Amino acid sequence: MVTVMYGVGARLRAAKVLLVTALELPAPLPELVRAGVGMVAIRDEEHSDQELARELAALRCSVPPGRILLGVCDRTGAGDAADFVQHRACLGEEGGGSPPLGKLVGSACGTQKAFDAALAHPAIGYICLGPAPAPGLIRHAAARAPQADAAAKVWFACGGVDQGNLAALAALGARRIAVGDALTQAGDPVAAAAALSAALRQVWAADPAMEGFALRSSAVAVGR
């Protein structure tokens, strides 16, 4: 069997579910990946950079190459073990800090102004809309960066996303989600991830604009 290696940019564009979790994952990483989780952002303030890097390396070894993006929240010292750094504070606006160099960077945005600033910032690779984005913000993001456009910057709806509100978010234009409690507090995290992933696949399949997205996005150079 031939294992296909996908770069960071390709994996970002293929991701539908981004899990934000503590270092102790809600289920084994291989099971989460098989269920449809495409990215995992580790939120950790207890371990040193070296310890965190070792843990990330161990997680990466547990799944086939090119199947997952592993990153950290608000930490820049994990070295090459992390594919990305995700910031809970807005970057790109005045006083919003500067993204680290040499990494895929995600930035949280809770307003249209912050979203537009992050969209224009060349060092920000993807955006998390939240926490709990208002419908108007999602509509704004969908209009400014329609996710059927392979050249548009990737964004995730985040903040309380679950099976109960996913359809409403999708109707507003969301095509990717970032989740925490929906998996970490679930009785069966793998089943919950599979259900969310399946629902998003249906959303993509039902959207004529998304047809051929994978082929179009393969021609777009993103990330490293």
CB 79 within 8 A of CB 60: no
**Which DSSP category does 90 fall into?**
-
CB 76 within 8 A of CB 106: no
Is 152 part of any domain?
Answer: yes
Is 55 part of any domain?
Answer: yes
Is 90 part of any domain?
Answer: yes
**Residue of 121, 57, 130 lying closest to 89 (CA atoms):** 130
> CA-CA distance, 74 to 70, in Å (whole number)?
13
| DSSP-derived secondary structure for 17-41 | EEEEE-SS-SS-HHHHHHHTEEEEE
pLDDT tens-digit series, residues 111-130: 999 999 999 999 999 999 98
Q: What is the mean pLDDT of the chain?
A: 89
User: Could you tell me where the DSSP H helices lie in the chain?
Assistant: 8-14, 29-35, 49-61, 112-120, 135-144, 166-172, 181-184, 189-206, 213-217
> 103 lies in which domain range?
8-208
Is 215 part of any domain?
Answer: no
Structure tokens at 131: 């926490």
How many structural domains compose the chain?
A: 1
Place of tokens 């790109």: 92
Is 124 part of any domain?
Answer: yes
Give the number of other Cβ atoms within 10 Å of residue 119's Cβ: 18
Domain holding 152: CATH number?
3.20.20.70
> CA-CA distance, 32 to 42, in Å (whole number)?
14
Is 1 part of any domain?
Answer: no
SS3 of 108, please? strand
Going by pLDDT thresholds of 50, 70 and 90, the confidence category of residue 2 is: very low
Is 194 part of any domain?
Answer: yes
Is 223 part of any domain?
Answer: no
- What's the average model confidence in pLDDT over 70-81? 86
pLDDT tens-digit series, residues 41-75: 999 999 999 999 999 999 999 999 889 999 999 98
Least confident of 28-37, 83-92, 159-168: 83-92
